[in-house]
């Protein structure tokens, strides 16, 4: 197992890794739906997530000018409203801010607190600055600093986002550990020279057989134990 003595900073993906993004969106959409709605909630969650992912890719490829995640969420909420027959503007507007109220996974707050006693802990997210501020408060997440892709006008997995974390950490990339529930995120972090730790989540992107991450854990509590033993 990889050692931890040379790790100086721990960087966390946020959406999906520290908070249950699909679960939170599912609850927000269910609350917003009119009684007459017939579209399945899971189908509407897919509409939301596919829109955001597609537009982030377009921005990353230079096919669309950068907009923060708040704008993409508002667009996704409008699409969901159209599919579901939601005509209340206030309900749609509240739905557009659902990403600010996502629930933390049960082990996130405690795990962050334990790791922060030994290392500087950074959140690195495609979520906007405003969403990170509100989400951190809502979910009870405590980090030393939260970095948004807003700062570099593109989205993960663009290398500029990981370089933002490395510039903030102020140490060589091999001394920075990236933690995520998404293998695609960790592959991009590896390409930037960072150490990597995969944490399994129900809605994550699991590693493939060819992925060689430094740690693979079933939860954040298991990762804390592994890192503390190093």
CATH classification at residue 60: 1.10.150
Parent domain of 52: 21-100
List the structure tokens of 182.
Answer: 């998404």
Give tens-digit pLDDT for 69-87: 999 999 999 999 999 999 9
Distances (CA, A) of 13 to 35, 84, 95, 218: 36, 31, 23, 16
Query: How many Å apart are CA 13 and CA 18, to the nearest integer?
Result: 7
Contact yes or no for 220/193 (Cβ under 8 A): no
Give tens-digit pLDDT for 22-43: 999 999 999 999 777 778 999 9
Question: Residues of the chain with pLDDT > 90: what percent?
Answer: 92
| Closest C-alpha among 151, 152, 153, 176 to residue 166 | 176
Query: How many Å apart are CA 162 and CA 173, to the nearest integer?
Result: 10
- The domain boundary, picked from 100, 116, 137, lies at 100
For residue 66, name the pLDDT band (cuts at 50, 70, 90): very high
Q: Across the strands, what pairs with 199?
A: 217
In a domain, 42, yes or no: yes
What is the average pLDDT across 82-104?
96
Q: Across the strands, what pairs with 179?
A: 12, 197
């Amino acid at each position: 197992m990889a050692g931890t003595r040379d790790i100086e900073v721990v960087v966390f993906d946020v959406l999906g890794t520290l908070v249950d993004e699909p679960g939170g969106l599912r609850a927000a959409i269910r609350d917003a739906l009119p009684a007459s709605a017939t579209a399945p909630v899971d189908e509407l969650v897919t509409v939301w997530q596919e829109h955001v992912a597609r537009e982030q890719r377009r921005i990353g490829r230079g096919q669309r000018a950068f907009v923060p995640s708040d704008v993409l969420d508002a667009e996704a909420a409008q699409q969901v409203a159209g599919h579901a027959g939601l005509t209340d503007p206030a309900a749609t507007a509240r739905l557009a801010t659902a990403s600010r109220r996502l629930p933390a996974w049960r082990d996130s707050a405690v795990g962050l607190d334990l790791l922060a006693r030994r290392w500087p802990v950074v959140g690195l997210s495609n979520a906007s600055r405003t969403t990170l501020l509100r989400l951190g408060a809502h979910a009870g997440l405590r980090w030393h600093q939260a970095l948004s892709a807003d700062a570099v006008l593109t989205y993960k997995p663009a290398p500029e986002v990981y370089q933002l974390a490395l510039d903030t950490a102020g140490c060589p990339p091999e001394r920075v550990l990236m933690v995520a529930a998404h293998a695609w995120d960790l592959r991009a972090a590896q390409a930037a020279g960072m150490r990597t730790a995969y944490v399994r989540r129900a809605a994550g992107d699991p590693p493939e057989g060819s992925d060689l991450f430094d740690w693979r854990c079933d939860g954040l509590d298991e990762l804390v134990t592994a890192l503390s033993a190093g």
